[in-house]
Chains A and B, each alone.
Chain A
Amino acid sequence: MDSTAVDSLGLRLDDLDRAWAQELGAWLAQHWPAHRAAIRAAAPTERDGALRAWQSELAEARYAAIGWPEEFGGRAATTTQQLLFHLALGEHRAMPATGRIGLNLCGPTLISHGTPEQQELFLRPMLHGEHLWCQGFSEPDAGSDLASLRTRGVVDGEELVITGQKIWTSGADRADWMFALVRTDPAAAKRDGISFVLVPMDAAGVDVRPIRQISGDSGFSEVFLDEVRVPLANVVGGLDNGWSVTRTTLANERAVLFLGQQVALTSTMRKIVAQAKEDLPGRPRAAADPALRDRIAGAWIETELVRINGMRNLAKVLDGQNPGPEGAMSKLFGQHVEQHVHELALDLGGGAAVLERGAEDAPYDGKWALGWLRTRASTIGGGTSEIQRNILAERVLGMPRDPWADA
């Protein structure tokens, strides 16, 4: 691995970690370029297959879910190794596994709470990209207040009959399976009557309708469930126990997730700095504008802060401390930085930035308008900024809970 990337994080590696990183770097250098070419060359209808093939290659080498225990095809990677993994992907500009919603969120839950049969049935295909997963949590009336979800699961013999609607489901149009939260005991207190259940997307009664976002993309879908019958054996962690199952601590994984964000931000900042030095037709370069210089430096500084904040959290984890709700701080700040950086990238183009890709005079190939539109969702998805602020104020600073919140 490029030692400067490691040094820039101030990591001191032992020989084992160094060897681990070297082996990984060599493996990526050998295997990624062919997949990269295949993914780039793939027609829209072939892209899904090309992405799954790359995941399969990663899985064969036990690089698809390195944090998983070895018996399930992972490497039981330490936090340092996970950090090195993210760095290596960034350095080789290699894509992570396409099925990472399943690998990062559902897999660890099955490993902690699943029965041996569930583990046997689901983990291997999840690992190899044969099953892509989506997460069926949010509902039209259960966003920030997730526990108010209303999708019903009624026990009928050995089956659960599910009816309701999920929304903002990332990747639902590609997914083979969904892990969902459904209300199985409407009489119980809000958080006590929920079950965590695995639903095949090809079951009768599942209807996926992609949602078109402001960017024109359709990364999310609505998922309608109409009397979908699922074996009770697909309930994970016991009936009505879903809320605590979803709380499976992913602290260590979360602690390194900032790196993916940081790699992306750093790469965008690098492009911004390069673009600011370019002369555009009919206007002075951005680097000559004092107001833009201030914003560029400010965005660069914010990106650095994301890195140092993340490394400080990681140091706590490596030291055996629980990073705790402070993770909400990284999330709150990081999502704002994403917006600042993308808005700046767009603004550098001046008036011509309104020209989109394909227009004759679109600056920087018109690529920033999409990023600007997409990052409007940064402060909404995965818990809005307002919810993150509540979490920080209540759980870190000890302020009283909102009077209307559940006990």
Chain B
Amino acid sequence: MEYGLTDEQRALDDAVAGVLAAHAHPRTPYDEPEAPAVDVALWDRLRDLGVLGLAVPEEHDGAGAGPVELALVCERLGHAVAPVPVLGQVVAAEAIRLAGDDALAKELLPELASGARRAGIVPAGPGVDPAPDLVSSRDGQTVSGRVPLALDAVGADLLVLPATDGDWYVVEVGPGVTISPQPTLDRTRPAAVVVLEEAPARRLGAPGSGARIGRRAVALLRALEAAEAVGIAAWALEQTRAYAGSREQFGLPIGTFQAVKHRLADMLVAVENARSASYGAAWALAADPASDAAVAVAMAQAVATEAAVQVTADAVQLHGGIGVTWENDLHLRLRRAKTLQLLHGSPSWHREQVAAVLLDG
């Protein structure tokens, strides 16, 4: 039965949850603005669990798992708003895998799986706004241009990015690459402007294979963002449940009052719907390793990011005054939720993708 999780998947989920509960410190970027962008200690612990190489093929030192396992991990990472660029790392690895270039895979994938090098991905295509503006040289050896909003780029060793010729390239961070961190809503995922000036680049796959690689890589990115959104919403519900059960007014826990109860029930439905949509996308991507599962992924983004924003906003509301204080961790999730909702296609944009398949075919 596909709709349950295997024992291995449950064990992975538990292990990641355990590490994050003990070692994720999402407040650090807020309380210590000068702290490093990436929590290296946490990164190393996740590496030790095999998280970074989860979907890397076994022949390249990965675990050979797939989108379902990645989605479980990302749900946990969202739950913890963990300040580690796992998303960029695993999607960059997927893009490199899709290139079908053995030499490149042999060189880079083991390093990404082991965490020896960190990679970010710059998505492009419909719904990605603002779009990167990158041009490759005629011989495909360099890329130049500007990425106005890149996540997971700060501190990266490699960037996987698209050029206007439609192909994707891998660029080593070094001469010709300038990464300038930018203030952003979600401080646990630092944003940057990336400027490339004839940066040495290697094309992923043969010329013309970019569309195939990009569709699948961006679909995986979106599915994993949806999974993160599920985790955020689930955390907000857990916190609110605990608060409503203990905070007393009029001599009773506020969770006694139906106005509070009913909002909590709606939050629960939103979380489980989001989880169903997220699983649906992960299952669809896992079922066919070449597919972009366009409808399932659009549905996951639309449902899960909307749920994350709604549930975190409801959580703030039900916490009352304490919910709008800097000290309370709710705003960390609110910020991540909104970031995920806006970044790679709004819910209405994703619904339009579904509508196009239903109505314009």
Instruction: Say whether, besides A294-B352, A392-B269, A316 and B4 are in contact (CB < 8 Å).
Output: yes
- Contact in complex: B261, A293 (CB < 8 Å): no
Give the tally of cross-chain contacts (CB within 8 A): 130
User: With an 8 A cutoff between CB atoms, is A203 at the interface?
Assistant: no
**Which chain A residues (292-321) contact chain B, with CB distance < 8 Å?**
293-294, 296-298, 300-301, 304-305, 308-309, 311-312, 314-316, 318-319
Instruction: Say whether, besides A312-B279, A329-B268, A333-B269, A10 and B256 are in contact (CB < 8 Å).
Output: no
User: With an 8 A cutoff between CB atoms, is A252 at the interface?
Assistant: no
Q: Output the least CB separation between A307 and chain B (Å).
A: 9
Instruction: Say whether, besides A315-B3, A392-B269, A400 and B264 are in contact (CB < 8 Å).
Output: no
Instruction: Say whether, besides A392-B265, A400-B252, A297 and B351 are in contact (CB < 8 Å).
Output: yes
Q: Output the least CB separation between A293 and chain B (Å).
A: 4
User: With an 8 A cutoff between CB atoms, is B211 at the interface?
Assistant: no
- Contact in complex: B256, A402 (CB < 8 Å): yes
A288 — nearest CB in chain B belongs to which residue? B359
A333 to B276, CA, bound (A): 13
A390 to B3, CA, bound (A): 27
- Contact in complex: A398, B241 (CB < 8 Å): yes
List A contacts of B241 (CB < 8 A): 397-399
Instruction: Say whether, besides A314-B3, A393-B264, A399-B264, A300 and B269 are in contact (CB < 8 Å).
Output: no
Main secondary structure of the interface of B (DSSP, over half): helix
User: With an 8 A cutoff between CB atoms, is A271 at the interface?
Assistant: no
A326 to B252, CA, bound (A): 26
**Which chain B residues (233-276) contact chain A, with CB distance < 8 Å?**
241, 244-245, 252-253, 255-256, 258, 260-262, 264-266, 268-269, 272-273, 276
- Contact in complex: B354, A10 (CB < 8 Å): no
A11 to B266, CA, bound (A): 29
- Contact in complex: A293, B355 (CB < 8 Å): yes
A399 to B273, CA, bound (A): 21
Contact with A along B180-204 (1 / 0, CB 8 A): 0000000000000000000000000
User: With an 8 A cutoff between CB atoms, is A394 at the interface?
Assistant: yes
Q: Output the least CB separation between B180 and chain A (Å).
A: 37
- Contact in complex: B256, A403 (CB < 8 Å): yes
User: With an 8 A cutoff between CB atoms, is B299 at the interface?
Assistant: yes
Among A305, A315, A388, A396, the one with the most B-chain Cβ atoms within 10 Å of its Cβ is A305
A309 — nearest CB in chain B belongs to which residue? B276
Interface size on B, residues (CB 8 A): 38
A293 to B3, CA, bound (A): 29
User: With an 8 A cutoff between CB atoms, is A386 at the interface?
Assistant: yes
User: With an 8 A cutoff between CB atoms, is B31 at the interface?
Assistant: no
Q: Output the least CB separation between A168 and chain B (Å).
A: 23
User: With an 8 A cutoff between CB atoms, is B91 at the interface?
Assistant: no
- Contact in complex: B3, A393 (CB < 8 Å): no
Q: Output the least CB separation between A266 and chain B (Å).
A: 13
List A contacts of B348 (CB < 8 A): 294
Residue B355 contacts which of A10, A294, A389, A402 (CB distance < 8 angstroms)? Answer: A294
- Contact in complex: B3, A333 (CB < 8 Å): no
- Contact in complex: B360, A287 (CB < 8 Å): yes
- Contact in complex: B268, A273 (CB < 8 Å): no
- Contact in complex: A12, B354 (CB < 8 Å): no
- Contact in complex: A10, B261 (CB < 8 Å): no
Residue A312 contacts which of B276, B351, B352, B359 (CB distance < 8 angstroms)? Answer: B276
- Contact in complex: A296, B358 (CB < 8 Å): yes
- Contact in complex: A301, B1 (CB < 8 Å): no
A399 to B262, CA, bound (A): 11
User: With an 8 A cutoff between CB atoms, is A276 at the interface?
Assistant: yes
- Contact in complex: B359, A293 (CB < 8 Å): yes
User: With an 8 A cutoff between CB atoms, is B280 at the interface?
Assistant: yes
- Contact in complex: A397, B264 (CB < 8 Å): yes
Residue A393 contacts which of B1, B4, B262 (CB distance < 8 angstroms)? Answer: B262
User: With an 8 A cutoff between CB atoms, is A277 at the interface?
Assistant: yes
Cross-chain pairs A/B with CB under 8 angstroms, 11 sampled: A293-B352, A294-B351, A311-B3, A315-B1, A318-B4, A389-B261, A397-B265, A399-B253, A399-B255, A399-B260, A403-B256
> Which 8 A-B pairs rank lowest in CB-CB distance, beginning with the nearest?
A10-B2, A393-B261, A315-B4, A389-B265, A399-B255, A315-B3, A308-B276, A297-B351
* Residues of chain B at the chain A interface (Cβ within 8 Å): 1-4, 241, 244-245, 252-253, 255-256, 258, 260-262, 264-266, 268-269, 272-273, 276-277, 279-280, 283, 299, 302-303, 348, 351-352, 354-355, 358-360
* Residues of chain A at the chain B interface (Cβ within 8 Å): 10-12, 273, 276-277, 287, 290, 293-294, 296-298, 300-301, 304-305, 308-309, 311-312, 314-316, 318-319, 326, 329, 332-333, 386, 388-390, 392-394, 396-403
